[in-house]
Chain A
């Protein structure tokens, strides 16, 4: 050991990142696994994009100032970005590497995005996301497919009480256009909505000089929530928005038709922060987490920025948020299936092999004196198995029983 390094200082991590220990990692992987399976069953195939990209390429997707991201230089002085989200890299991949495909392109990803936490706010800098992109079809069927898949995936992961709010940025734009709201005023209203500030929204509406019933509709617009019937109010007041209303109603009807029980409804207050959304936008809310567990929408103009102009719709699920909501409801109780096998590295190696072949994890000990019971306690394995004459003695930490058996690999797999 060197004498110069101060070993007493805590080995801290950068702000916003953390380690994941075995129990959580296992649970996160289980959630990931069930999402992967559902995506695959709906015909989506996995893609992987690099963690770093050229900033000049990713920033094509953005308007205005560069979004918060970790940036660094490569050996030639070019600015690289640690991907701040996965929608843009996935759109880039599909637009460049799968440009020649004519049919619908269905891809999914399970990966991590990185965004520096804002000053003074303890937010994670690293987020695990699982998402899909459906590229090609532009109709309400595609919107519905994606919303139904989101419901299916969240339900399969074990989430209960999920609610999905759906809006359409083209509907809001049609209403503003029909009421003659100019670009500067519309920009201010959009800003109020993005800040979730309904007080500023209503004040902005009040300064537009609209007729009373038009002003009331516009003031209420971001709080319109419920079944498709709330759209009829918009349609009656603003006939120019009828097409957008009909499209959204159709998408919701199809999404609901494909998957019963879930609570999928209109919520015209949903507004995604990224400016690239062009049509339907939606968020999924789950009990016990303070942010949407999934967000998504249609971004038909995004592919063109990377050279292939195709319609696209997709979503991303926040894995940590989903896991948090799931973990609050159900925690597996009792020790995990697995054996600490005394002598498994030496004389009992054959038994270790047989147990593993039977699908039971085995933590084997060797000749070193190890307290097998303490080891089982620490890692929470269910069984401690020791050689005992011709057979083995087994201690079951779940039931507290001790018993003898000849061949543990035949007895343990069938125990309740």
Chain B
């Protein structure tokens, strides 16, 4: 929100939105608030011209949108983690051929193991992924970590980094062309605003 304000947008109504999901500002901007994983859906369909969403969601959803600017904030990493101590993964793979991985990001997890030449049985869970290896549901997890504190507190250790994530500005394919001037100007201002903040 500070980045939007620094880029010259009127974010007053957005700050005061409370529980309203759609708010319009005096400068003609309409803000739509959704859960992160729905942002690409709204932008891809053209219901929203622009969206701000984490790279992790883009990796997972693969929407057909323009990825315009790395906004830098919301930084975190997608990692593969297992319980502390010796990494059970090589042993499991050697004896059983398949490692069981719990994750909220099945596409990212599947791709990571495929690209490293290993077979994984990816189990989709919807929350508290850290529980899965502790309860014996999986050998490891693929999840997003910011500080790594949740992993540590649950006795898990990061084994393999997968990719770095941060917030991205995305644009609908057609809006990017039909409203080219406005979108170029805004993405330029946002890029300068986040550049100055860093």
Binding site for B on A (CB under 8 A): 161, 163, 165, 195-200, 223, 225-226, 267, 269, 283, 285-292
Contact = CB atoms under 8 A, between A and B. Distances in A.
User: Could you say which interface size class chain B belongs to?
Assistant: 10 to 19
A287 B172 CA distance: 12
Given A196-B65, A199-B69, A290 B168 contact: no
Contacts of B66: 196-198, 269
A290 B178 contact: no
B84 interface: no
Interface of B: 44-46, 64-70, 168, 172-174, 176-178, 180, 184
Contacts of A200: 67
Contacts of B45: 290
Contacts of B180: 225-226, 267
A107 to B, nearest CB: 28
Contacts of A226: 180
A231 B5 CA distance: 33
Given A198-B68, A200-B67, A290-B45, A285 B172 contact: no
Given A165-B177, A267-B177, A199 B46 contact: no
Nearest to A283: B177
Contacts of B178: 161, 163, 285, 287
A200 B46 CA distance: 23
B177 A163 contact: yes
A197 B184 CA distance: 15
B68 A199 contact: yes
Given A283-B177, A289-B174, A292-B174, A196 B67 contact: yes
Nearest to B65: A196
Contacts of A197: 66-67
10 pairs of A and B residues whose beta carbons are closest in the complex? A290-B46, A197-B67, A196-B66, A285-B177, A199-B70, A285-B174, A225-B180, A199-B67, A290-B45, A285-B178
B184 A223 contact: yes
B142 to A, nearest CB: 18
A200 B70 CA distance: 9
A288 B172 CA distance: 12
B55 to A, nearest CB: 8
Contacts of A165: 177
6 contacts: A195-B67, A198-B68, A283-B177, A289-B46, A290-B174, A291-B173
Contacts of A195: 67
A292 to B, nearest CB: 7
A101 to B, nearest CB: 36
B173 A198 contact: no
Contacts of A287: 178
Contacts of B69: 198-199
Contacts of A269: 66, 176
Nearest to A203: B70
A159 to B, nearest CB: 12
Candidate in B66, B69, B174, B184 with the most chain A CB atoms within 10 angstroms: B174
A328 B179 CA distance: 19
Nearest to A290: B46
A287 B49 CA distance: 12
A286 B66 CA distance: 17
A291 B177 contact: no
A198 B168 CA distance: 11
A292 B173 contact: yes
Contacts of A291: 64, 173-174
A225 B184 contact: yes
Given A226-B180, A290-B45, 14 more contacts: A163-B177, A196-B64, A196-B65, A196-B66, A197-B67, A198-B67, A199-B67, A199-B68, A225-B177, A287-B178, A290-B44, A290-B172, A291-B64, A291-B174
Candidate in A161, A200, A285 with the most chain B CB atoms within 10 angstroms: A285
A290 B173 contact: yes
A41 to B, nearest CB: 28
Contacts of A199: 67-70, 168
Contacts of B65: 196
B73 to A, nearest CB: 14
Nearest to A224: B184
Contacts of A292: 173-174
Contacts of A289: 46, 174
Nearest to A286: B174
A287 B178 CA distance: 8
A292 B172 CA distance: 11
A287 B44 CA distance: 14
Contacts of A223: 184
Nearest to A165: B177
Nearest to A197: B67
A288 B47 CA distance: 9
A292 B64 CA distance: 12
Nearest to B172: A290
A291 B64 CA distance: 9
A236 B131 CA distance: 59
B110 to A, nearest CB: 12
